[in-house]
Amino acid sequence: MHPVSEDRSIFKIFTILYAVALTTIALLSVFSQIKIQQALSHQMNDAHVINFAARLRTYSQTLSKLALLLESGRDIEDNRKEFINTLKQWQKSHEGLQSGSNFLNLPANDQDELKQMFEIIRNPHQEIWNAASNMIVVLNEDTAFNTSRIRPYVQTILAYEKSYLLGMELIVFDYDRFSKERIRNLKEIEYIVLGLVLFTLMLEAGLIFYPLSTRIRKIIRGLVDAQERARKLTEEVQLANQEKLLRQEMEQRIRSYSIINGQEKERKRIAAEIHDGIGQMLTSLRMKLEQIEDRSMQHDPEIALVNTMMYSIINETKRICADLLPSVLEDFGLRAAIDELLRLCRQTAPGIDFRLEETLSAATLPKEVKIGVYRILQESLNNAIKHAHANIIEIDIDGAANFLQLTVRDNGQGFHFDSHQLYSNEQARKVNGIRNMKERAELLGGTLLIDSQPGTGTIIQLALTF
């Protein structure tokens, strides 16, 4: 027979045996639970009945006490009401205990011995009931109350109280005895069921589990070997994927670094060409205009206007060159470059209050860090000036030997920022500056966080370790 077919036949037999064993245990468990629930139900009923039997004894004693108080003539009205209520409760409880009551949740009495006990106390109960009823008739009369009229009834209640209490005590003992007998019967049934369950489990262990475990061990050994081979293969694949991801990340970093480095070089080249070419020509042109103005015999307002415009163009050219390549950054460092940048921002946006809090250390920063921090701050300030509509912009920069943190905070209109939009083709133009800032921060080994919501301003935080 083929090994696969043989395994299927064996497991089919084991499945049938296991199903039979489980069914047997389930049936025994269900039977046991049914008996337990029945016993619990009887126990609850017995406890309820015993409680009411004890109440009857209490009601009987309360009736005797109230009868004596009424006979003494103290608090006639209050004791009369309490006597009537107690008598009603005593009678309802007695009838419910004897015949059953849905209202009191009492089961009907089906024990012959208890019926005999109730028959024994029937006469004391009837005598007490008749005497108490006659007392109520006397108490409810409109004539003046005379204790001598109820004294015979009080004597009757007291005379039969002891025999009634003794009979109720015996009834309570009988209920307790019946309850214990039910529990004892339940224990015997539970022991029998437990024995059957243990016997079934032993058969199950000998005929099913042991043979099956031997078979399973062989299969598990094969599965473990296959799992080990699969694990090794998975580790090789994961290692290859990690290497691929690292390679892709490194390539992306190299591309980003090349682009940013190329941008800086291009900025430097353009700034140099503007300064050395257009800047020099504009300066020469302004000097010619001044010479023409000096040689002119009369003051020509048009020449003066052109000269003023030429002066503005030269200043704007210098500002553009400073933005493209801040020479102060290379000559005097990051602190001086930030001061110069804020000076230019105050000239560009005189309505905005720029506040600087700076605690940079005296240690020399790497060139890449200085350029990266300057460009991120420059882009942050330009965005705030153009789009935030703020009147206060705060710059906090804190630096140590190997750590630098920059925070730019404004009280402007804010915007809805979603980091997933940074690499969206639809939003490429709008978020190009933010994406460049984030790439610069990542290339420097740092993080850039942007916190902004409409109406709450914007916070940009840069953290670098180097």
Q: Residues 264-299: pLDDT tens digits?
A: 666 666 766 665 667 667 677 767 767 776 776 666
The per-residue pLDDT for 72 is 80
Of 222, 251, 275, which one is at a domain's C-terminal end?
A: 222
Of 167, 199, 222, which one is at a domain's C-terminal end?
A: 222
237-251, 369-383, 446-460: least confidently modelled range: 237-251
Of 180, 200, 222, which one is at a domain's C-terminal end?
A: 222
Q: d(Cα 55, Cα 96) in Å, to the nearest integer?
A: 12
Interval 197-207 mean pLDDT: 78
Same domain, 218 and 358: no
Q: Residue 303: CB partners within 8 Å, gap ≥ 6?
A: 289, 292, 293, 296
288 within some domain: no
* Residue 229 pLDDT greater than 80, yes or no: yes
pLDDT confidence of 169, banded at 50, 70, 90?
confident
CATH code (residue 362): 3.30.565.10
The per-residue pLDDT for 133 is 84
- Domain extent at residue 455: 351-465
Higher pLDDT, 434 or 37: 434
Q: d(Cα 40, Cα 47) in Å, to the nearest integer?
A: 10
* Residue 391 pLDDT greater than 70, yes or no: yes
Q: How far is CA 83 from CA 53, 75, 135, 148, 164, in A?
A: 19, 12, 10, 18, 18
Higher pLDDT, 90 or 454: 454
* Residue 260 pLDDT greater than 70, yes or no: no
Q: Residues 48-104: pLDDT tens digits?
A: 667 767 777 787 888 888 888 887 877 778 888 888 888 888 888 777 777 766 666
The per-residue pLDDT for 176 is 75
The per-residue pLDDT for 130 is 85
The per-residue pLDDT for 384 is 92
Average pLDDT, the chain: 78
214 within some domain: yes
264 within some domain: no
212 within some domain: yes
Sign of the alpha-carbon torsion through 319, 322, 323, 329:
negative
pLDDT confidence of 428, banded at 50, 70, 90?
low
Across 143-166, b (16+ Cβ under 10 Å) vs e yields eeeeeeebeebbebbbebbebbbe
The per-residue pLDDT for 418 is 77
CATH code (residue 196): 1.20.120.1730
Percent of the chain with pLDDT over 70: 75
Interval 33-49 mean pLDDT: 69
239 within some domain: no
17-26, 46-55, 164-173: least confidently modelled range: 46-55
Cβ contact 458:450 at 8 Å? yes
* Residue 192 pLDDT greater than 70, yes or no: yes
The per-residue pLDDT for 405 is 92
Q: Residues 328-356: pLDDT tens digits?
A: 777 788 888 888 889 888 988 999 999 99
The per-residue pLDDT for 357 is 93
* Residue 380 pLDDT greater than 80, yes or no: yes
Higher pLDDT, 236 or 299: 236
31-45, 51-65, 185-199: least confidently modelled range: 31-45
173 within some domain: yes
105-109, 158-162, 430-434: least confidently modelled range: 105-109
Same domain, 214 and 355: no
The per-residue pLDDT for 42 is 65
* Residue 3 pLDDT greater than 60, yes or no: no
Same domain, 217 and 358: no
The per-residue pLDDT for 300 is 67
Same domain, 20 and 161: yes
60 within some domain: yes
Q: Residue 22: CB partners within 8 Å, gap ≥ 6?
A: none
The per-residue pLDDT for 427 is 59
Residue with tokens 């605690």: 359
Tokens encoding 46: 């017995």
367 within some domain: yes
Q: d(Cα 328, Cα 315) in Å, to the nearest integer?
A: 17
Domain count, the chain: 2
